[in-house]
Structure 1
Amino acid sequence: MKFNRELDELVVYEAGKPIELVVREFGIKPIDIIKLGSNENPYGCSPKVSAIISENSKMASFYPDDSMFELKERLAKRYNLQSNNIIIGSGSDQVIEFCIRAKCTKGSKVLMAKTTFAMYEIYARQIGAEIIKTPSHSHEILEFKQLYSQHKPDIVFLCLPNNPLGECLDKSDVFEFISQTDPDTLIIIDGAYQEFAKAKDKSKAIDPKELLERFENVIYLGTFSKAYGLGGMRVGYGLASNEIIEALHKIRPPFNIGVLSLLAAIEALKDEDFVETCIKYTFEEMLRYESFAYAHGITFIPSWTNFITYILDDKFSGTQVADWLLRRGVIVRNLKSYGINAIRITIGTEKQNDRVFELMKEFLQ
């Protein structure tokens, strides 16, 4: 059977290992497994969200309100925008797909950092777009400027903060770069971890309202999968001008978000205190990871997210460390597929992190 030729050399996205796989392969009880490989919220979601899901479980047999009116209204209020500035996706990665399909055709150019969220490249290659990457793994704004001037891409991806490395550009550099781009270039600001960046450093914070007021060629992506603890409900969103949102809605399939997912996201927005508490605990625990790295001579990338990346030296590989931890019930992300000898660790709870440090010490010894 013949398929789209663009799929021939396309690499499938490598998702974080699920708990079920570790149970099957190593016979470890689910309760003894610590999953720190997919940047989920280790504190779960707000208890109010859990209650709403439970109370409305019978609604699962119904299609949702396809206008997503209430969720859009709450997001509009949060960001001081209008509901026609918002599109909802099954995770923010679905909105990424909408953007590429709306803007690109075979031969279009897409610019991104060398090491960033893999789905940017995967979606772009599916339609035959040309991928342009910076020489550096992390976001270096001068490299973006140079490559933009040279190639005039149709889309530019800026992951702020960046997954899987954790670094983040300053807002001032981002805005200056956008001001020098052509109005017909779509700039995609992926703010999946912006809740963490804003809490840690105001110079990294991107205000979507200010972004949209100053530039017409941008879309800001947000998600409920990280800080809000709703990774399993798959709800993301895009914020952009009415012109961009109208184009994306022509691609969005009906009922792309389930009714329980909508209810969960709506309720999550009502409990910002829960989110703020989770972020506070995350950065308190991240200090322990930084101290551990200093104490054991491990290089790490300063992070504005809910994870930290340990860069490993020639003594051992990320694969060795990740496998050692996996066989003992701790799931982290090996960054070998990105061409980096490193592991990415989601910042867990105090008890979870105690176990990680205990195992890491054993490995290093």
Structure 2
Amino acid sequence: MSGQGTRNSPLVLRPGIAEAPIYVPGAHGDEKDGVPPAVLSANENPLGPSPQALDAYRGSAALERYPDGGAEKLRAAIGEKFGLDPARIVCGAGSDELITLLIRCYVGPGDEVLQSQHGFLMYAITAKTVGASAVLAPETPDLLCDVDAMLAAVTDRTRICFVANPNNPTGTYIPASELRRLREGLRADILLAVDAAYSEYVDADDYSDGADLVRDYDNVVMLRTFSKAFGLAALRVGWCYAPAAVVDALNRVRSPFNVSVPAQVAGVAALGDAAHLDRSLRENKEQRARLVGALSQLGLSITPSVTNFLLVHFADATSASAANAHLSAKGVIVRSVAAYGLPASLRMTVGTAEENDRLLSALTDFLA
């Protein structure tokens, strides 16, 4: 998709929109010779959604009815599952929508959004659409968010500081103590947005998804999603936990029926199926360890990950591009992360055992 038509239009766009790049999602590939691709490009749950969520989705057939605009039952279920006050939860069409709404609420022309160097692309893209700019703070050599570098990058124009914890595409996280140190080092008028989309996968004792900071401060938001561990990416449902003032602002700017009925009922059902979530996390952990071992034996370097994906490093950008093309030709779809400033690396979702077999076979062939 090109912005050429936008630039040639006689209509006047708001500042920044024409300059904002269009987000390119991970490809899903095509079936070849009757064999579906091994899709390891978008960090989806390879086991799919909970059977209970599927049943709820299929039973939501009253298509003539509007959704519950406040997602009351879904917010109540989230609150019960995570021990949070439903009144401080806002649901959205994926956490992407909530990122957009936060920026619409608190960022304008000339402002800055702060993030780590290899953070999620949508923070910077969305900032541009409101006439703001993104400031990318350097990460540590091992691709961790560097709190000192983040704080050093703050200016009088900083309005939101986004921290993906764990981070996509690196798979790394910073401990609760560092996340709190970041909040304490920011001005009171800077919103700290903790994007915890992959939090379900983390079992480290020193990890925080940011909920404790939301309770302790009035300028922190935690973002979550049903797209990853819960396997509901197609339905686009996410949520945030926020101070009352932020909740009020988000409810003023969001669309009145922004989460569909199928998304709401499937989300409630997914939260109630602890067995499926446990299985998803257990198998991910087992397969992730297997992939790390096998990829290391192939001579590849992997950034330690606490998520459902691995950042795999090649000798240079040319090698990474060639590996990506070879995998694609073999029906294995992974993600280039050149747009994230990591041209010599590829991001690979942890798939099923069979999908991972295909990945390892194709990489072995490429490296032979």
Which residue is equivalent to 1:357? 360
Report matched runs for 1:1-365 at 5 Å.
Answer: 1=9, 2-4=11-13, 5-19=15-29, 22-23=30-31, 27-29=32-34, 31-56=35-60, 58-136=61-139, 138-148=144-154, 150-151=155-156, 153-197=158-202, 199=203, 201-206=204-209, 208=211, 210-314=212-316, 316-340=318-342, 341-365=344-368
Partners of 2:282 and 2:181 lie apart in 1 by 30
Supply the AA of the counterpart residue of 1:9.
Answer: E
**Contact 2:194 / 2:210 at 8 angstroms: preserved in 1?**
no
Partners of 1:291 and 1:203 lie apart in 2 by 25
Structure 1 residue 67: Cα displacement: 1.8
SS where residue 112 of structure 1 aligns? strand
Partners of 1:296 and 1:80 lie apart in 2 by 44
**Contact 1:32 / 1:329 at 8 angstroms: preserved in 2?**
yes
Which residue is equivalent to 2:3? none
Structure 2 portions without partners, runs of 5+: 1-8
Partners of 1:118 and 1:36 lie apart in 2 by 19
Change (3 A) 1:11 1:295: same
Partners of 2:137 and 2:210 lie apart in 1 by 25
SS where residue 202 of structure 1 aligns? coil
Structure 1 residue 317: Cα displacement: 2.3
Structure 1 residue 55: Cα displacement: 2.5
Structure 1 residue 50: Cα displacement: 1.0
Root mean square deviation of aligned Cα? 1.5
Q: Which has a greater percent of helix? A: 1
Partners of 1:315 and 1:231 lie apart in 2 by 30
> Taking structure 2 as the reference length, what is the TM-score of the superposition?
0.92
Structure 1 residue 206: Cα displacement: 2.5
Supply the AA of the counterpart residue of 1:89.
Answer: G
Structure 1 residue 152: Cα displacement: 5.7
Supply the AA of the counterpart residue of 1:297.
Answer: G
Which residue is equivalent to 2:6? none
SS where residue 324 of structure 1 aligns? helix
**Contact 2:68 / 2:261 at 8 angstroms: preserved in 1?**
yes
Partners of 2:82 and 2:301 lie apart in 1 by 37
> Taking structure 1 as the reference length, what is the TM-score of the superposition?
0.93
Q: Give per-residue Cα distances to partners, 1:223-269, cap 9 Å, x unaligned.
A: 00000000001000010111110011110011111111111001011
Q: What number of residue pairs does the alignment pair up?
A: 354
Partners of 2:58 and 2:182 lie apart in 1 by 46
Structure 1 residue 3: Cα displacement: 4.3
Partners of 1:59 and 1:344 lie apart in 2 by 40
Structure 1 residue 202: Cα displacement: 1.9
SS where residue 311 of structure 2 aligns? strand
**Contact 2:144 / 2:174 at 8 angstroms: preserved in 1?**
no
Partners of 1:289 and 1:135 lie apart in 2 by 28
Q: Which moved more, 1:129-138 or 1:8-17?
A: 129-138
**Contact 2:113 / 2:133 at 8 angstroms: preserved in 1?**
yes
Please identify runs of 4+ aligned residues in structure 1 that moved more than 6 A: none
Change (3 A) 1:9 1:333: same
SS where residue 249 of structure 1 aligns? helix
Change (3 A) 1:221 1:60: same
Structure 1 residue 80: Cα displacement: 2.3
SS where residue 339 of structure 2 aligns? helix
**Contact 2:101 / 2:253 at 8 angstroms: preserved in 1?**
yes
Partners of 1:63 and 1:362 lie apart in 2 by 52
Structure 1 residue 315: Cα displacement: 8.6
The percent identity for this pair of structures is: 29
Partners of 1:308 and 1:41 lie apart in 2 by 14
Supply the AA of the counterpart residue of 2:360.
Answer: F
Supply the AA of the counterpart residue of 1:203.
Answer: D
Structure 1 portions without partners, runs of 5+: none
Change (3 A) 1:159 1:224: same
Structure 1 residue 316: Cα displacement: 4.6
